[in-house]
Amino acid sequence: MNGQRVVSDVLAETGMRILISFSLLALLILAVACGGEKKEGSWLEPAASSTTTMPPPATAPEVDTGATVLVTLGDGHLATQEATFPEGPVVLTVANAGKEVHSLHVEGPGVSKALDGTLLADASGSLEVVFQKGTYELYCPVADHRTKGETLTVTIPTP
């Protein structure tokens, strides 16, 4: 009986050892799997940094070809820095010089674009528009401001 107990104890002990080694293995596998995930994450990091390097080339053409024209919105009027705009990409810098809330909408050949939201007094925003030859209307889409005179027709001349 004693011998059998010893054998069973030994068996139980080896069983425990097997269990322990299995759980250790499982931990190792988990550690490796986590390490693998971390490696994947580190692989994603260079991709993310490469997308963050994307904006500079995108803004570079703006500097090269895009002209910047100031558009001033007032209470009942809309004025531009220049009488004619160049063909191609133009960044409209829109400034609210009035006391009311204003915004800007540009309508013309290939363009129907508006500022995101409205501009409070003394606020400014920018809107990039790619102009083609033709006539464009710039107006304030807020309430009835367009009919109150916040509109301007701009012609893009044929070179």
Residues forming the site for Cu ion (CB under 5 A) = 102, 140, 142, 145, 150
Whether 91 and 128 have beta carbons less than 8 Å apart is answered as yes
| Shortest distance in whole angstroms from residue 84 CB to Cu ion | 23
**Beta strand 88-96 with 111-114: parallel, antiparallel or unpaired?**
unpaired
Nearer to Cu ion, 35 or 76 (CB): 76
Minimal distance in Å, beta carbon 81 to Cu ion? 18
Q: Report the alpha-carbon distance of residue 70 to residue 103 in Å, rounded.
A: 14
Nearer to Cu ion, 102 or 156 (CB): 102
Nearer to Cu ion, 154 or 156 (CB): 154
φ/ψ of 30, rounded to 5, equals -60, -45
Query: Phi/psi of residue 6, each to 5°?
Result: -60, -45
- Shortest distance (Å) from residue 89 CB to Cu ion: 25
- DSSP symbol at 76: T
Q: Name the residue nearer to Cu ion (CB basis): 78 or 156.
A: 78
Output the smallest distance, CB 75 to Cu ion, in A: 7
